[in-house]
Amino acid sequence: MTPDAALSSSAMQRALDPASTSTLRAMVLCAVGAIVGLSIAGYGLFTAAGTSTRTVPPESVAMVNQRPILRSDFIAQTESELGKTFAEATRDERLKVLDEMVREELLVQRSLELDFAETDQDSRNALVTAVTQQITVGIVTSEPDEQQLMNFYETHKEQFSSEGRMQVVDLVLAGENMEVGRAAANALRSGTSVEDVMAGFGLTQPVRHDEDYYFAVKYRLGDVLFAQVEHLSAGAVNEPVRLGDAIHIVQVVSNTRPVPLAYPIARAQVATDFKMFEHERSLNATLTFLRGRSTILIADDYAADYKP
Amino acid sequence: MRWLGWIALAASLAAAAVASGIHEQSVRSRLLRADPDLVASDPQLVAYAMDMGALTYSGACSGCHGPALTGDRRSGVPDLTDSEWLYGTGRLSEIERIVLYGIRSGYSKGWNLASMPAFARAKPYASYHVDPLKPGEVDDVTTFVLSLQNAASPSDAVERGKTVFLKNGLCFDCHGADARGDPAIGAPDLTDAVWLYGNGSAESIHAAIAHGMAGSCPGNIDSLSFAEIRAVALYVHSKRSGGRAHDP
């Protein structure tokens, strides 16, 4: 027997030996385990979000300092710039847009290095707007369920009504003679035409208006005068009111008062108002949270009066 | 040595799983790298994406658009199965963009160019100055919009409404002088029979003009994977009126 043959025979005997088999199995299983473990670790390492990589993920068209430029953004930018579909864009046109986006990303990253959020007012405004929107994104875009809307409708019923409409004739008497004003108002009440009253008592009507919503009539007449006429019916005349250097006499031509709307009719408005309400609540809750975790120091000369 | 057989079997299964994973990864990459408007013409990609799209739709979209994609006109949620597209023209890339960034969603890359003003309010529009309309003008514009539907004979109210539509109401600015809308800003066509809110009655048109509206759709860039986003876009694209998965 040659030395090689003897060695081979010896190895065969060791392999067939139950004790040796156990050792070999252990070694093989250990190796398999190591390979599997390393494979899983490697896969995890090279595919985890944020991992530095030299490849471009399939959803991106480029990576700039590990920041992706999404294909979707690239397509939208290309179509927006070129005014045609992405499929119609030539390769040169696409490459030009891609380079512009790379340049934009480089400049944005530079702006972060320069901390423009601290020094540039436009950047600060944009950040405030973006964060405010982000805070309330869930509320703005989610659909409240029917029960939530009905509860909101029940607890805020007064704000869901049709718009009040009104047409008025606002007559003005120059000076302060309230007796003349009262006589003119009585004449109107007794059915004398507006034209005759104006001619007879020296009144003027600076502007004629058609029927308008309550808010517009209120804006024109002012709070005091509007409060006087808001509840008057068509044909009624207010008690003359002195405002500034003139007396105002208002005759109501028509008045359609706001009518509470039933839930099915008001539903769209209820949904809008509910979201606005929740929007404010969410924003305030976030600000309370941010204040709670922040250290805010107010200078002595303002500290006593400062209230969030 | 029977254990060697088990190891060989396990290795074969592992190799098959790895091969399957690599293949899946390859198709997924191809799905994401493809021009979205051409994806629908690739049967292998469509087959890969449709199940994922249906599942994603069920989880992320059906809450508002409904399981049958038919929307809800009470809330202004559009029907995705008709031929009318409020934003864009129904191309897959446009649908994908909405799934990604939404509409009035808080993402600045989402659609948010204009909203319907509330013309019966003191400040009809938050973003820039728009004058409110008078009650009679709201009535007249309602009559004018109704006339677009019913081809009603001209009347004074229709003419007055048309004047408001084309002048001080600024309606033409979004809906166009011909009232056919503008999909670039999400302004609906007022001449067809498709209504986003209500049923096209005088009451619902009047309410839209008086109270305004601004529907929204969430962006999903932070909640769905890019493959899911493309798959759900493909799924929705395939369900549109007259649409098939393989149509561009």
pLDDT at B246 over 50: no
Say whether A36 and B211 touch across the interface (CB within 8 A). no
Domain ranges of chain B: 7-102+224-239, 135-211
Say whether A267 and B74 touch across the interface (CB within 8 A). yes
In a 13 Å sphere around the CA of A47, the CA atoms on its Cβ side amount to 8
Q: Which of A163, A210, A272 sits opposite B120 (nearest CB)?
A: A163
Q: CA of B131: which chain A residue's CA is closest?
A: A216
Q: Which of A85, A130, A140 sits opposite B108 (nearest CB)?
A: A130
pLDDT at A183 over 70: yes
Listed residue (A70, A290, A217, A112) closest to B101, CA to CA: A70
Write out chain A residues lying below 8 Å of B234, CB-based.
none
CA–CA min distance A270, chain B (Å): 10
Which chain A residues touch B if contact means CB-CB below 8 Å?
21, 25, 28-29, 32, 36, 57-59, 70-73, 75-76, 79, 85-87, 130, 133-134, 136-138, 140-143, 163, 165, 210-213, 215-216, 219, 265, 267-269, 271-272
Residue B168 burial (CB count, 10 A): 13
Choose the mutation target among B97, B160, B221, B232 for the interface with A, i.e. most A CBs under 10 Å.
B97
Provide the pLDDT for residue B153.
66
Residue B78 burial (CB count, 10 A): 25
pLDDT at A206 over 80: no
pLDDT at B247 over 50: no
Write out chain B residues lying below 8 Å of A215, CB-based.
121-122, 132
Listed residue (A92, A93, A91) closest to A83, CA to CA: A93
CATH code at B135-211: 1.10.760.10
Q: CA of B103: which chain A residue's CA is closest?
A: A141
pLDDT band at A8 (very low <50, low <70, confident <90, very high): low
Residue A58 burial (CB count, 10 A): 19
Q: Are domains B7-102+224-239 and B135-211 of this chain identical in fold? A: yes
Query: For the segment B20-30, what is each residue's pLDDT rounded down to a tens digit?
Result: 888 888 888 99
CA–CA min distance A118, chain B (Å): 21
Query: For the segment A40-51, what is each residue's pLDDT rounded down to a tens digit?
Result: 887 776 666 556
pLDDT at B243 over 60: no
CA–CA min distance B139, chain A (Å): 12
Mean pLDDT of chain B: 88
pLDDT at B229 over 80: yes
B7-102+224-239, what's its fold? Cytochrome Bc1 Complex; Chain D, domain 2 (1.10.760)
pLDDT at B93 over 60: yes
Write out chain A residues lying below 8 Å of B91, CB-based.
85
Say whether B216 and A140 touch across the interface (CB within 8 A). yes
Choose the mutation target among A72, A142, A211, A257 for the interface with B, i.e. most B CBs under 10 Å.
A72
What average pLDDT does range B119-134 have in this prediction? 89
Provide the pLDDT for residue A119.
87
Q: Which of B91, B105, B135 sits opposite A212 (nearest CB)?
A: B135
The rounded percent of chain B whose pLDDT value lies above 70 is 95
Query: For the segment B166-205, what is each residue's pLDDT rounded down to a tens digit?
Result: 998 999 999 999 999 998 889 999 998 888 888 888 988 9
A13-27, B40-54, B186-200: least confidently modelled range: A13-27
Write out chain A residues lying below 8 Å of B32, CB-based.
57-59, 71
Say whether B14 and A265 touch across the interface (CB within 8 A). no
What average pLDDT does range A130-134 have in this prediction? 82
Query: For the segment A96-123, what is each residue's pLDDT rounded down to a tens digit?
Result: 999 999 999 999 999 999 998 888 898 8
What average pLDDT does range A239-261 have in this prediction? 92
CA pair distance A227, A45, nearest whole angstrom: 72
Q: Which of A75, A141, A215 sits opposite B216 (nearest CB)?
A: A141
Q: What is the ipTM of this complex?
A: 0.76
pLDDT at B164 over 70: yes
pLDDT band at A13 (very low <50, low <70, confident <90, very high): low
Task: Encode B201-238: b = buried (16+ Cβ within 10 Å), e = exposed.
Answer: eeebbbbbbbbbbbbbbbbbbeebebbbbbbbbbbbbb
Q: Which of A138, A140, A212 sits opposite B104 (nearest CB)?
A: A140
Tokens standing for residue B180: 């056919």
pLDDT band at B245 (very low <50, low <70, confident <90, very high): very low
Q: Which of B93, B108, B197 sits opposite A75 (nearest CB)?
A: B93
What average pLDDT does range A169-175 have in this prediction? 91
Write out chain A residues lying below 8 Å of B135, CB-based.
163, 165, 211-213
Are the beta carbons of A208 and A283 closer than 8 angstroms? no
Provide the pLDDT for residue B209.
93
CA–CA min distance B206, chain A (Å): 11
Provide the pLDDT for residue A25.
77
Are the beta carbons of A70 and A78 closer than 8 angstroms? no
CA pair distance B11, B96, nearest whole angstrom: 40
Residues pairing with A171 in the sheet? A249
Are the beta carbons of A240 and A182 closer than 8 angstroms? yes
Q: Backbone phi, then psi, for B241, in 5-degree steps?
A: -55, 125
Write out chain A residues lying below 8 Å of B211, CB-based.
268-269, 272
Most confident of A85-94, A137-146, A198-207, B83-92: A85-94
Instruction: Specify the residue for token string 């969410």.
Output: A282
Say whether B122 and A216 touch across the interface (CB within 8 A). yes
Q: At A247, which helix (H) or strand (E)?
A: strand A246-256
Q: CA of A20: which chain B residue's CA is closest?
A: B1
CA pair distance B160, A56, nearest whole angstrom: 59
Number of residues that this document lists for chain A: 308
Say whether A143 and B211 touch across the interface (CB within 8 A). no
Q: CA of B61: which chain A residue's CA is closest?
A: A142
pLDDT at B91 over 70: yes
pLDDT at B234 over 90: yes
Q: Which of A58, A71, A211 sits opposite B136 (nearest CB)?
A: A211
Are the beta carbons of B109 and B206 closer than 8 angstroms? no
CA–CA min distance B60, chain A (Å): 11
What stretches of A114-168 show up as alpha helix (H) in DSSP?
Answer: 116-119, 121-135, 137-141, 146-155
What average pLDDT does range A65-71 have in this prediction? 93
Say whether B102 and A141 touch across the interface (CB within 8 A). yes
